[in-house]
Structures are given as C-alpha cells and as structure tokens.
Structure 1
C-alpha cells in the first residue's frame, strides 16, 4: 500500500545527492559549451577534410543513443588513457579511472553538438548593423566583441543553453549504469533498502520537478533582465 511518509523519508535521502548531481550537470554544461564554441569556430573556417570529418562526427553523435555512447566511452577511455600515458612512461591502471570522469567526458562530447547549433543560431540572429555602428563609433575589435557581440549572443543562447542544462540533469539518470549515483540512482538504492520502489520513484520525480521548476523560474528572470538591457 502506498505510504506518504515513506515518500518524505525517501525525499530526505534523495536530496543528499542533489548537490552532486547539479555539480556534474554544471561541469558538463560548461565543457559542452566550450567544445561547441570550438566546433562552431572550426566549422566557420570551412577547412576541407576537417569540415567533413566534423560533419560525420556530429552525425554520429546525433544518431547514437546516449546509453550506447556512455558504454563506448566507459570501456574505451581507460584503455586509451593507459596507452597514451604509457607513451610518456607513466603507469596507469585502467580500472582506477573514476566513473564520474567517464560520465563527464561522454555527455560533454554528446551535448557539444547541440551547443554548437545553439551558438551558431545565436550568431546568425546578431544584427550586423550594430557591429557596423560600433565600428563607426571607434570601437576596437575587442571592445565590439565584449560590448556588442558577446552580450547579445549570450542573451539569444541563454534559453536554449538552460534547456540543455535541464536535459543534462535528467540525462544523468543513465550515470547509474556506470556506478555514478545521481538522483535516480539514489532513488533505486533507497527503494532497494526499504522495498518501497513506488514511493522512492515518486520522491525522485518530485525532486526532478522541483529542480526543473526552480531553474526555469530563475532562467526566465535572468533572460528578462538581460533583454531589458537591449530594449
């Protein structure tokens, strides 16, 4: 029989891993954004061969489920790290690689493709007349970048970037497959201890809902504040 008190008890245990989950998601968001920016820049150069390689890589990442990519990195990254470190005479035990590092690497690469599209779209939405106006006012390239381009690109990219953050938080439920304990994993552990899986998963759903609701509220306020600066 469903027990509401067990839900509250499960909530207490699940909330303990929320900071760790948010930290992992934030690290992945920042790394994927930087990788996405690098991808956008390299593609804008239109270098033959390299552009085609990146197009194939992006197609592969878009078409492969995250769970498959997670296992691919989980089994290949330790071997690759061991091989490259051995070239420099550094001993490395593949079994010692932290599972959280595997999750960070996997999702950072996965979501860099989507971040690249977000950045490209934000750049395309930039009004070129404002750049010309800044140059006519005597702004240097650095000043134009800092005062005109970056603020507007960040304003345009913010909603999609924050949505990506929410997606990453929910996608981290796959991290349990490689022994990283997040919100969902903690709910499974609590359910296994109490034999009350329904209550534990209800508690996990409430935690996810609360996090997404709070972040959406903060995102909307931040976006409105940033947009008022350009009205």
Structure 2
C-alpha cells in the first residue's frame, strides 16, 4: 500500500527544482532592474507634469494596477506577435514571429508590471524629500538632474527601500506565473515532477520550502540595507550614496 505522505519525496524533489532556480532569479532581477529604471522615469514624468507623457503614464499605471498579472501575460504573449505581424505587413519587413523566445514575453510583462507599481513608490519617496534642500541645491546652480542625483535620490532611497524590497519578494513569488508563456521555471518544473510521480503535495511542499528560504534571504538583505540607509539621531552622521549627511543640521 502506497504511503499517504512520503517525506523522502519532498527532499528528493528539491534538487530537481533547484536546477531551475537560475531561471526564476533571472526573471526576478532583470525585471526588477528594468522596473526600477522605468519606474524612476515614470515618477519624474508625473512629478514634473510633462504634457501628454504624464497623462499617458497615468493611464498606463492605472491599467497595469487594475488588471491581473496573468491577464497581462496573455496580452503580451498574444500581442507582441500581432504587433510584429502588423509591422511586417505595413513595412515589408520579415521578422520571424515564431523565433521569439518565451522568456521575452515574461520579461516584458514583469518589467512593465514592476515599473507601474515601483513608479508610485518612487514618486512618493521623491516627494518626501525636504523642499528646502532642493531649493538650496537649485540656488547653487544645479540642474534638476544634478539635484536628483546628488540630493533627492540619496534621501529618497531611505524611504523607498522597504516597499521596494517587498516588491522584490512579491516579484520572486510571481515568477511562478511564467509557465503561462511557456517558460520552465521552478513552479513549472514542479508541475512536471508531480505529474510523473503523482506526489503533488510533496512536490509543492518542496517548492514552498524553496520559496520560503529565498524570501528569508531577501528579508535579511533588506534588513541590512535598511540599517545601512537608516536616518541617524540628530547630531549623528551617516553616509548615503557615498555622501556625508548631518541630519541634525540637514547638511549636505
């Protein structure tokens, strides 16, 4: 009689699942970096109220935040080939639609999804910076981008680190949806393994343990960063972004 629960199946599944960990991490970190860069651009556009672009970004963010990730994956998976087909017909090009890698659809979807959510976090962090410091930097003749790099971003980093860290954890767990576009990552591999040995509970338990362990590691890194970027008590000094700050007198 077969065992109801086989603990050995849990531990024997872990090595097979870990073989696809690099795929999950690749999706996570590429999407996060791209999402942070686009999110910063979107945030600046909305803060500066750039005509036309600000309205477009607002609608885009609203759409992304108002639709499920899996729907966005389906839209990307079906939309990019349609776009290339349209370009081929209109401009006489010969892009090979069938040659598009499945990873492309996943990275595009996750990057834009992160950009939408991160832009709101970054916008709030940028607007939390003391206006007096910004005006003082501008009075010294700095351009907006110099002020952004030297004053705003270092201090906004303190505010943005915790929520962006949570977004990173959510993104890591969200990579389990990549199988929708045909990318084999840890969750998809778990489906394959459980389909062959019929130990569904054991395999998914092993998968849960791996995700849990990864989340704990990320949380520890985030705690270190929060301490590294924390604002000291008045009169103490701290370095953020390689610069000295005295928060007691708000020196830069």
Partner of residue 151, structure 1: 154
Equivalent pair of 2:126/2:153 in contact (CA under 8 Å): no
Q: Does 1:99 align with 2:102?
A: yes
- Structure 2 unaligned residues grouped into runs of 5+: 231-237, 240-244, 248-252
1:175-208 superposed Cα distances (whole Å, 9 cap, x missing partner): 1112111221111111112221111000000000
Where 1:7 maps in the other structure, the secondary structure is helix
CA distance in 1 between counterparts of 2:182 and 2:114 reads 21
Specify whether residues 134 and 42 from structure 1 end up closer, same or farther in structure 2 by C-alpha distance, changes over 3 A only. Answer: closer
CA contact (8 A) 1:17 1:186 kept: yes
2:43–2:119: 8 Å Cα contact kept in structure 1?
Answer: yes
Deviates more, 1:25-34 or 1:121-130: 121-130
What TM-score, normalized to structure 1? 0.89
Does structure 2 conserve the Cα–Cα contact (< 8 Å) formed by 1:86 and 1:92? no
1:148 aligned counterpart, secondary structure = helix
| Alpha-carbon distance in 1 for matches of 2:53, 2:131 | 28
Is 2:189 the counterpart of 1:199?
no
Tell me the matched-pair count.
Answer: 230
Match of 1:13 among 7, 11, 16: 16
1:135, CA displacement in angstroms? Answer: 5.8
1:190 is matched with which residue: 176, 188, 193?
Answer: 193
Instruction: Please show how residues 77-92 of structure 1 align to structure 2 within 5 Å.
Output: 77-84=80-87, 89-92=92-95
CA, structure 1 residues 145+39, in 2 after alignment: closer, same or farther (shift >3 Å)?
A: closer
**Partner SS state of residue 64, structure 1:** coil
8 Å CA contact retained: 1:32, 1:109: yes
Instruction: Tell me the residue number matched to 2:217.
Output: 214
In structure 2, the partner of 1:128 is 131
- When residues 85 and 152 of structure 1 are mapped into structure 2, their CA distance, relative to the original with a 3 A threshold, is farther
Larger Rg: 2
1:76 has 2:79 as partner: yes
Greater alpha carbon shift after TM alignment, 102-111 vs 49-58: 49-58
The reply on whether 1:46 has 2:52 as its aligned counterpart is: no
Could you state the TM-score of these two structures normalised by the residue count of structure 2?
0.82
**Secondary structure of the structure 2 residue equivalent to 1:56:** helix
1:114 maps onto 2:110 in alignment: no
Instruction: Show the 5 A alignment for 1:27-66.
Output: 27-66=30-69
Alpha-carbon deviation of 1:86? 6.0
Of 165, 176, 179, the match for 1:176: 179
- Higher RCO (CA 8 Å, separation ≥ 6 residues): 1
**Any idea what SS the aligned residue of 1:2 has?**
coil
Gaps of 5+ in 1: none
Aligned-partner SS, 2:84: helix
Specify the SS of the correspondent of 2:214. helix
Match of 1:23 in 2: 26
